[in-house]
Amino acid sequence: MRSVFIDESKAKDFILCAVSIDNNALHLARSVTRQQVMPGQRYVHFVSESRNRKLAILNAYSNINLTADFFIVKDGTPAQRRSKALRQLVRTLPSSTSVNLIFDNDENYTSMDREILREELTRMSMVPLVSYSHLPSRNEPLLWLPDALAWTKAKGKEWNRQLEKFSSRTHLIEA
């Protein structure tokens, strides 16, 4: 079984980042992410960190055995772009393995996400294989991974070199 942790960047293009981790590695991955919390912090929100901290966090995260998928949508309203990215994410899920999708909770999109997931999973006959939930990132340290990687992907240029440390795929979604 795999767990997929999902967050997005809306800085320029819409980038949905899905970080997939084998369930046998979740304990170690949580340990690595929790170690990045500084005294006085409750959790890591990448955009709030300094440049040097961002680099150190990415370096630590690169020790986690994960795969990151970036679903990039350039056109449409925010809801349309999220919908397209989410539909494509579901289409990339393995059809023979159980998967648990964990979204960073964005109350503006939770009901839409659930509707899209029901539609796509039913259409693909994958309802029994896929579970999903929406959680606040402060409650699930592994949601800090797609937060950091989506921010890094959105920044482009020099920051994208940092992504070479990770196993990743980019999916450009056309209108």
Task: Work out the angle at residue 130's Cα, subtended by the Cα atoms of residues 124 and 60, and round it to the nearest 5 degrees.
Answer: 125
Q: For residue 76, what are the domain limits? A: 2-38+46-173
Q: What mean pLDDT value characterizes the chain?
A: 95
Per residue in 126-172, pLDDT (tens digit) is: 999 999 999 999 999 999 999 999 999 999 888 999 999 999 999 99
Distance CA 71, CA 26 (A): 23
By residue count, the chain amounts to: 175
Higher pLDDT, 141 or 96: 141
Task: Assign 12 a pLDDT band (cuts: 50, 70, 90).
Answer: confident
CATH code of the domain containing 166 = 3.30.420.10
Q: Which residues contact 57 (CB under 8 A, 6 or more apart)?
A: 36, 44, 46, 49, 148
The reported pTM is: 0.96
Six token digits for residue 1: 């079984």
What is the amino acid identity at position 173? I
What is the count of structural domains for the chain? 1
Predicted confidence (pLDDT) at residue 58 exceeds the cutoff of 70: yes
65 conformational bin, left if phi > 0, alpha if psi -120 to 50, beta if neither: beta
CB count within 10 Å of CB 168 equals 16
| Torsion angles phi and psi, residue 107, rounded to 5 | -55, -20
- The pLDDT value recorded for residue 99 is 97
Rounded to 5°, the CA angle 10-37-22 comes to 70
